Amino acid sequence: MSFVHIALLAMLIVCALAVSMTRNLLTSLIVYMAYSLIMAVIWMLLESPDLAITEAAVGAGITSVLFFVTMKKIHEIKTEGGRERDKTQK
C-alpha cells in the first residue's frame, strides 16, 4: 500500500467520524460530500472507474442536492411557523 492509499483511507475515517459528531447540519453535509469524493478517488485508484463515476454522481452530486433542498424546505417551514405564531400572539 502506498502513502496515498493510507492518506486517503485516513481522510475517509476522519470524514466519517466528523459527519457523525458535528451538530451543524450544513457542516455535516459538506463533510459528507468530501467523504463521497474521497471514496470516488479511492475507487479510481482501485481501477474501477465505473464505480468512481457512480459514487461521484450519486454520492456527492444527487444526494447532496437532495439534502440541500430538504434543509431549505425545513428552514422555510420553521420560519413560516414562527410567523404564524407571531401573528396569533399580537
For residue range 3-61, list pLDDT tens digits in order: 999 999 999 999 999 999 999 888 998 999 999 999 999 999 999 999 999 998 998 88
Closest CA to 66 of 53, 79, 57, 78: 57
Specify the residue for cell string 502506498: 2
pLDDT score, position 16: 93
Range of the domain at 13: 3-89
Question: What's the longest Cα–Cα distance across the chain?
Answer: 67
For residue 43, give every residue at least 6 positions away whose Cβ sits within 8 Å of its Cβ, in sequence order, or none.
49, 51, 52, 55
Query: DSSP secondary-structure letter at 47?
Result: T
**How many independent structural domains does the chain possess?**
1
Q: What is the pTM of this model?
A: 0.77
